[in-house]
């Protein structure tokens, strides 16, 4: 009986929605997502993320491996935090949702600016 209790959760995996990034991880991911949206690379980024979804753990391990080299250029703590984040099962979904939120926000701001510009030209 005790063996069954031990094996009950032996192959359990976390659900994709259970990801809870730390404040530092959230800050790093948000910075990356803002860079993607600012450069208007939303569609290619989402496509690449969706295609690489099965490899997110391998990507995390690659980041761990390359941390000494990357730390020379950027500072290793960010890569380590990003690698720990990518090791979690729902990380790609979290990144995709964040990029989509920022893109919607950018488009809303553009629409509002366009309306304001049209209203100003109408008054002149």
Which has more pLDDT, 69 or 106?
A: 106
pLDDT at 89: 87
Which has more pLDDT, 80 or 118?
A: 80
CA distance 95 to 73: 24
Q: Is the pLDDT of residue 63 over 90?
A: no
Instruction: Assess contact for 100 and 46: CB atoms under 8 A.
Output: yes
Q: Is the pLDDT of residue 13 over 70?
A: no
Tell me the per-residue pLDDT of 20-48, one tens digit each, with 9 for 90 and over.
Answer: 899 999 999 999 999 999 999 999 999 99
Say what the pTM is. Answer: 0.76
Length of the chain: 124
Q: Is the pLDDT of residue 88 over 60?
A: yes
């Amino acid at each position: 009986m005790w063996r069954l209790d031990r094996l009950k959760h032996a192959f359990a995996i976390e659900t994709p929605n259970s990801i809870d990034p730390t404040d530092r991880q959230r800050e790093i991911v948000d910075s990356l997502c803002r860079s993607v949206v600012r450069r208007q690379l939303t569609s290619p980024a989402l496509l690449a993320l969706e295609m690489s979804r099965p490899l997110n753990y391998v990507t995390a391990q690659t980041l761990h491996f390359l941390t000494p080299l990357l730390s020379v250029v950027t500072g290793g703590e960010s890569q380590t935090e990003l690698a720990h984040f990518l090791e979690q099962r729902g990380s790609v979904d979290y990144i995709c949702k964040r990029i989509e939120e920022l893109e919607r926000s950018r488009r809303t701001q553009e629409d509002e600016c366009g309306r304001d510009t049209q209203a100003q030209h109408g008054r002149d």
